[in-house]
């Protein structure tokens, strides 16, 4: 698998596409295959302890798979991919979702500022570039709240603070390998980047709603999300990092 990736490698940069997955055996194969077909990069799928065929579907489509023995949450799964990228000497890492929410063809656009050394992290935003994205009223409220939280605490002016579509360079990979939130990591990441004095840039991307509509989280879950993220965000502001 590694040999294959080496053969069709055209660029000097080694890039890893990381996809955390839980119970995505139906969609994961197509996404991995699409990335492998369009881009000269290695794909790693972190199976977050799902009991279904997620792992074998990913492997059959040409991904490297990391199987967690138990469910760690999306941040814990992603951190495993960062550790893998760190150990294997990748220069950059792009995270996309396993449910088809992110457009594979947008990966080069997100990756570009990082590979050219313009930013430590590039984050895909669904609100830039005139892309149409319809969101429910509570979600818009949440996004506005997090925009304000991020801007008032870090100075980063972001349009899409909860975006899970991003690229990071070697420096961020190494830091995240050691420090990364276990769940709901996206907003929290801005504090970590701020603490590192990392440079960030937003890039317009397309985002699709989940087909099954599983992501329409309930009101109590959404409230828990807001409280948990705000708390860990503020604590990370005053926390020590070794």
Partner 1 sequence: MTRITILSVSASAILLLYILEMVRRRKLREEYSILWLAGGVIMLLFSLKRNWLEWVSNAVGIYYPPSFLFLIGMLFILLILIHFSITISRLYQMNKKMAQDLALLKQEKEEKSE
**Which residues sit at the interface with partner 1, rule CB under 8 A?**
1-2, 46, 49, 64-70, 72, 76, 79-80, 83-84, 87, 182
Give min distance, CB of 122 to partner 1, in A: 25
Give the residue carrying structure tokens 């807001």.
226
Give the span between the Cα atoms of 192 and 223, in whole angstroms. Answer: 23
Beta carbon of residue 156, minimum distance to partner 1 (angstroms, whole number) = 28
**Closer residue to partner 1 in complex, CB, 139/179:** 179
Cβ 46 to partner 1, closest distance in Å? Answer: 7
Q: How far is the CB of 217 from partner 1 (least distance, A)?
A: 23
Q: Which is nearer to partner 1, 112 or 183 (CB)?
A: 183
CB 23 to partner 1: min, Å: 17
Compute the distance between CA of residue 15 and CA of residue 9 in angstroms, rounded to an integer.
10
CA-based torsion, 141, 146, 151, 152: positive or negative = positive
**Which C-beta is closer to partner 1: that of 93 or that of 205?**
93
Closer residue to partner 1 in complex, CB, 46/110:
46
The least CB distance from residue 184 to partner 1, in Å, is 15
Please identify, using beta-carbon distances, which residue of 28 and 46 lies nearer to partner 1.
46
Rg (CA), the chain: 17
Question: Is the CB of 25 or the CB of 103 nearer to partner 1?
Answer: 25
């Amino acid at each position: 698998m590694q040999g294959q990736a080496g053969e069709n490698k055209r660029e000097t940069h080694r890039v890893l596409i990381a996809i955390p997955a839980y119970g995505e055996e139906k969609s994961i194969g197509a996404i991995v295959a699409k990335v492998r077909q369009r881009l000269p990069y290695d794909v790693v799928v972190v199976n977050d302890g799902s009991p279904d065929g997620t792992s074998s579907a990913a492997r059959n489509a040409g991904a490297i798979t990391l199987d967690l023995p138990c469910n760690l949450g999306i941040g814990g799964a992603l951190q495993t991919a960062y550790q893998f990228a760190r150990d294997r000497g990748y220069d950059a890492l792009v995270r996309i979702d396993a449910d088809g929410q992110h457009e594979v063809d947008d990966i080069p656009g997100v990756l570009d500022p990082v590979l050219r050394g313009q930013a430590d992290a590039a984050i895909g935003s669904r609100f830039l570039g005139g892309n149409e994205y319809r969101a429910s009223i509570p979600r818009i409220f949440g996004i506005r709240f997090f925009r304000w939280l991020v801007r008032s605490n870090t100075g980063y002016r972001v349009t899409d603070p909860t975006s899970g579509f991003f690229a990071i360079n070697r420096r961020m990979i190494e830091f995240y390998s050691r420090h990364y939130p276990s769940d709901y990591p996206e907003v929290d990441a801005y504090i970590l980047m701020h603490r590192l004095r990392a440079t960030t840039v937003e890039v317009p991307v397309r985002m699709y709603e989940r087909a099954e509509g599983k992501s329409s989280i309930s009101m109590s879950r959404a409230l828990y999300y807001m409280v948990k993220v705000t708390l860990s965000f503020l604590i990370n502001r005053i926390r020590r990092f070794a």
